Amino acid sequence: MQMEMQIMDSMVFDISTRTLQRYYRLTGASDHDGLDYRQLRQALIEELRNEPSYRVYREKEFNFYYIYRSAAHPDTVRFEALLTKEDYR
């Protein structure tokens, strides 16, 4: 699924850690080393707090793991974050 300058490759749920894992590829102008990691992390937290579709996951206190790789250089991880209930409450 492509959303602006990122493509969601896959999503996995790890039952043992109660973690929803999302894997993305960054494309175009967003595929660079100069990403503002704090701003990206905060945007993910705000999405978890405000998006109604995450309500059930928040109530169950799931963890969320995001990994963003370069589309041009697939072995390169541009950003990753593990968000827990302490982050999105």
Q: Model confidence at 1, in pLDDT bands (50, 70, 90)?
A: very low
CA 21 vs CA 32, 34, 56, 68, 79: distances in Å: 22, 24, 16, 11, 13
The structural domains of the chain, with segments of one domain joined by +, span 2-88
pTM of the model: 0.87
Domain spanning 2-88 has what CATH number?
A: 3.30.300.250
pLDDT tens across 11-21, in order? 999 999 999 99
User: If you ran DSSP here, which 8-state letter would residue 54 be given?
Assistant: G
pLDDT tens across 64-77, in order? 999 999 999 999 99
